[in-house]
Structure 1
Amino acid sequence: MNRLVSLAVLLLAAPASAQTQTEMTISAGAAYAKADAAMTAQWKVTFARMKARDAADISRGGGFGYAAALLESQRAWLKFRDAQCVIEGGEVAGGSMQPMVIAACKADLTKQRTTQLHELEWRN
């Protein structure tokens, strides 16, 4: 099931308080802001862990480069997320749903990235 169909299902199940398109767009934006804050918090923890791993790894002459690789990965991921959500928003381009679809996409992908960052934190 594509994201647009998933979004339609979610909209049908939305609470009665989110009735107008503006309210639904604001709600999607708030969900994205919450997901982004959670990812930022996890990023700080995971990045600190990678820096510590680099500092502890003297066998490679100063560390493997976990922190640098994570930073590069995050920058690439941010570009991917934004571009992917533009594509998904294109399904309703020009319509009043477009900002909501983009925000919902960003929230979904950001939650997935938060999980990835958390998993990286605990790998050996």
Structure 2
Amino acid sequence: MSSFGLRFRRGMPILPALLLLLLLTVAPAQAQALDCSGAQTQVEINECSEKEYARADADLNKAYRDLMARVDDGEERALLRKAQRAWITFRDAHCDFMTSDSRDGSIYPALFAGCLADLTIKRTAELRADCQEGDIACP
């Protein structure tokens, strides 16, 4: 009888039971949060870079929403929306260009996400600097 034909007493094949056991032990390890201060493998570095970009993007979205909420004039809101969309197009194209040499490498996701994060952090600062509360030059 082959090893695939072996069964537990209750009729469960060994192979599916081993796979289930493997899944139960691997899943909790993957569910743990990655400590990015100690990222060493390329996969960890890529994941941490993507997390940094996600945080920067969430912060940018908040700054943009806050500024849009302070702009009362419909035309100015449309101009801000147009500027932000143009900036996103620029950011993405710029990062495509800046990371094009590494496109086929394992480091590419980290470099691309890092570029996106850097420009996004700078844009967030621009949006916040453009309109501080109490500034009479702000819309």
Find 2:43's aligned residue among 3, 14, 22: 22
1:74 aligns with 2:84: yes
SS of 1:104's equivalent?
helix
Partners of 1:113 and 1:79 in 2: how far apart?
13
Structure 2 gaps of 5+ residues are: 1-35
State whether residues 45 and 121 of structure 1, in contact with CA within 8 Å, keep that contact through their aligned partners in structure 2.
no
Which letter maps to 1:44? R
**Equivalent residue number for residue 57 of structure 2:** 36
SS of 2:99's equivalent?
helix
Rg larger in structure: 2
**Equivalent residue number for residue 91 of structure 1:** 101
What whole-Å deviation, never above 9, does each CA across 1:31-59 have from its counterpart, x for those lacking one? 00000000001110001112x2x2xxxxx
**Equivalent residue number for residue 68 of structure 2:** 47
Per-residue deviation, 1:89: 1.5
Partners of 2:114 and 2:58 in 1: how far apart?
15
Which letter maps to 2:126? Q
**Structure with greater contact order relative to length (CA < 8 Å, sep ≥ 6):** 1
Per-residue deviation, 1:93: 2.0
Structure 1 gaps of 5+ residues are: 1-13, 55-62
**Equivalent residue number for residue 59 of structure 1:** none
Which letter maps to 1:120? D
Q: Percent identity?
A: 37
TM-score by length of 2: 0.67
SS of 2:89's equivalent?
helix
Partners of 1:91 and 1:70 in 2: how far apart?
33
Partners of 1:49 and 1:66 in 2: how far apart?
11
SS of 1:95's equivalent?
coil
